[in-house]
Amino acid sequence: MNRREKQKQVREAKQRAAQQKRRRLRLFGRFALYVGLPVLALFSIYVLLNQGRTYSPVEISPDDHILGDATTPVSIVVYADFQCPACATEAQRVRRIWSRIEDKAHLIFRHYPLTASNPNAWTAALHAEAAGRQGRFWEMHDALFANQGIWALLPDAASEFESYAEALGLDLERLRADVESEAVISKVRNDQRGGNSAGVRSTPAMFINGQRVAQLTSSRIMSLVEEHHAEATEETGATAD
């Protein structure tokens, strides 16, 4: 075989390879059109149908965890991450002033785990929510924040969270089942979706009667609670007249 014939063979081989590649791309395109797109559409519909309703900071969800009397006129809604140090500080601050405002306000906690920076936050939220299924949400809430420095850097904090649950007298088998349940996972996910809709991008984020609190100091929180309570009292009085 001379040089020209060899070159012709190489060109023909390249042409055949190019044709085969084009055929594969056409087949892939048809697959994506007739199979991939319908599957993607069905998946999108499934996700949408399985997303629960979200609630704004001026609404109360039937699944919300409420500290205090929900009929009080002032609503404090907090979006928080259990692994966030500032959230732990905020929780301690509210606890210190709670006795001064509990006759005027109620507190609602909503999950907003920032998993990109706090890898144990999601699991902590699930355990708090699962504890709530046994009526001990606020006790687990307090335990998680109080011991944040212990579990925050653990590679796997689940066993640590279970030790808090055990100390609270919870049924561990039920807790484990609830942590993996769709209901608990959806609750955390929907809290976060609601926070996103409300403009939450960092934690802690506090709203008092729907108003975002810029400075989370004790005096600022108490002042706003007093203001909103006074407004509500005036409106009630005006309505009665």
Residue 220 belongs to some domain of the structure: yes
Question: Mean pLDDT throughout 176-194?
Answer: 98
Same domain for 123 and 165, yes or no, is: yes
Residue 58 belongs to some domain of the structure: no
**pLDDT for the residue numbered 239:** 60
Same domain for 138 and 227, yes or no, is: yes
Residue type, 229: H
Contacts of 15 (CB under 8 A, 6+ apart): none
Total domains in the chain come to 2
Nearest to 106 by CA among 219, 217, 209, 215: 209
pLDDT in tens, 56-87: 999 999 999 999 999 999 999 999 999 999 99
Check pLDDT > 50 for residue 54: yes
Rounded distance between C-alpha atoms, residue 207 and residue 60, angstroms: 13
The pLDDT-based confidence of 44 (bands split at 50, 70, 90) is very low
Question: Mean pLDDT throughout 43-47?
Answer: 37
Same domain for 142 and 33, yes or no, is: no
Same domain for 83 and 184, yes or no, is: yes
Same domain for 223 and 158, yes or no, is: yes
Same domain for 71 and 41, yes or no, is: no
The pLDDT-based confidence of 10 (bands split at 50, 70, 90) is low
Nearest to 97 by CA among 112, 87, 107: 107
Same domain for 141 and 185, yes or no, is: yes
Same domain for 24 and 93, yes or no, is: no
**pLDDT for the residue numbered 1:** 64
**Token code pair at residue 175:** 């807790």
Residue 2 belongs to some domain of the structure: yes
Rounded distance between C-alpha atoms, residue 172 and residue 131, angstroms: 10
Same domain for 75 and 32, yes or no, is: no
pLDDT in tens, 99-137: 999 999 999 999 999 999 999 999 999 999 999 999 999
Residue 193 belongs to some domain of the structure: yes
Nearest to 129 by CA among 57, 206, 65, 52: 65
Residue 227 belongs to some domain of the structure: yes
DSSP string for 160-193: HHHHHHHHTT--HHHHHHHHTSHHHHHHHHHHHH
Residue 171 belongs to some domain of the structure: yes
Residue type, 159: S
**pLDDT for the residue numbered 48:** 40
Question: Mean pLDDT throughout 215-235?
Answer: 94
Please state, rounded to an integer, the average pLDDT across all residues of the chain.
89
Check pLDDT > 90 for residue 240: no
Question: Mean pLDDT throughout 36-52?
Answer: 46
User: Regarding predicted confidence, which is higher, 187 or 237?
Assistant: 187
Residue with tokens 């989370």: 216
Same domain for 37 and 81, yes or no, is: no
DSSP β-bridge partners for residue 75: 106
pLDDT in tens, 156-169: 999 999 999 999 99
Same domain for 26 and 137, yes or no, is: no
Check pLDDT > 60 for residue 203: yes
Residue 30 belongs to some domain of the structure: yes
Check pLDDT > 90 for residue 25: no
The residue range of the domain holding 201 is 65-236
Rounded distance between C-alpha atoms, residue 57 and residue 78, angstroms: 9
The pLDDT-based confidence of 49 (bands split at 50, 70, 90) is very low
Same domain for 10 and 89, yes or no, is: no
The CATH number that applies at residue 115 is 3.40.30.10
Residue 241 belongs to some domain of the structure: no
Residues in the chain: 241
